[in-house]
Structure 1
Amino acid sequence: MKPVTSRDKGEQAEQLACHYLQTQGLRLAQRNYHCRLGEIDLIMEDRESLVFIEVRCRRKGRFGNAIDSITPAKQARLIAAAQHYLQRTGRTQNKPCRFDVVGITPEKGVNNITWLRDAFRVES
């Protein structure tokens, strides 16, 4: 039996987050968008908004929860990757965008999901 890797856990967390957000009415546009500037876990549509979503899975502990792990450097990479996506796909017209974070904290066999809408903004 193959051991479960960090990558496997990350994919499971992204799948769980995607399913949860779909039950909340969001529609999946793309998973795991990669470019040289960074990666976006999920890109979804929420009514008229395009939503770039970072998924974090972390056990509670001395290093904080999953959402606390989104550093300013990570935010900058997400913003750069989102700008690349918008330019590449031509989806820049008339569609507001936002950045959400989904934190998953496994506890005693249950995955606690925290969805932080509009978690951070692009500085103009």
Structure 2
Amino acid sequence: MQGPSRRERGQSAEQRACRYLQARGLRLRERNARSRRGEIDLVMEDGATLVFVEVRFRRAAAHGSPLESVGPVKQQRLIRAAHAYLQRHRLDRPCRFDVVAITGDDLQWVANAFDSGA
């Protein structure tokens, strides 16, 4: 019998991250916000701040932590996708980029994980 697919594991990780953040006061605005410039896993609000959340999942840390997988190239892709989101929704408000890293049963939330450089 085959286990969950990569996509199903990803969706499960995003759901877990969303519940975790909501329990800490963030409000979900949108899941899987897609544009030509990329996809943002979760768009949430923390008070007046718009939070773009990247969720990374690894079954085990044998190939490095999920946090390490959000390098400069991935960060730039997320920043471009966030700019597209802000333009499409005509938003002008404070923003930040968070990463939720899940390894097995361990969940780590890094608020303001990187800067847009703007």
**Pairwise TM-score range, normalised by the shorter structure:** over 0.9
The aligned residue for residue 98 of structure 1 is 96
Correspondence for 1:114 among 97, 108, 116: 108
SS of match in other structure, 1:16: helix
The aligned residue for residue 40 of structure 2 is 40
Percent identity between the two aligned chains: 50
Letter in 1 for 2:107: I
Q: Using the TM superposition, give the Cα deviation of residue 96 of structure 1 relative to its aligned residue in structure 2, in angstroms.
A: 0.6
Q: Distance in 1 between matches of 2:78 and 2:90?
A: 18
The aligned residue for residue 19 of structure 2 is 19
Q: Distance in 1 between matches of 2:48 and 2:36?
A: 28
Letter in 2 for 1:67: L
Letter in 2 for 1:113: L
The aligned residue for residue 69 of structure 2 is 69
Q: Which runs of 5+ in 2 are unaligned?
A: none
Q: Distance in 2 between matches of 1:114 and 1:2?
A: 28
Q: Distance in 2 between matches of 1:14 and 1:122?
A: 22
SS of match in other structure, 1:87: helix
What's the RMSD between the two structures over aligned residues?
1.2
Q: Which runs of 5+ in 1 are unaligned?
A: none
Moved beyond 4 Å, runs of 4+ = none
Q: Distance in 2 between matches of 1:46 and 1:64?
A: 29
Q: Using the TM superposition, give the Cα deviation of residue 2 of structure 1 relative to its aligned residue in structure 2, in angstroms.
A: 6.4
Give the structure-1-normalised TM-score. Answer: 0.90
Aligned residue-pair number? 117
Matching of residue 29 in structure 1 with residue 23 in structure 2: no
Matching of residue 56 in structure 1 with residue 83 in structure 2: no
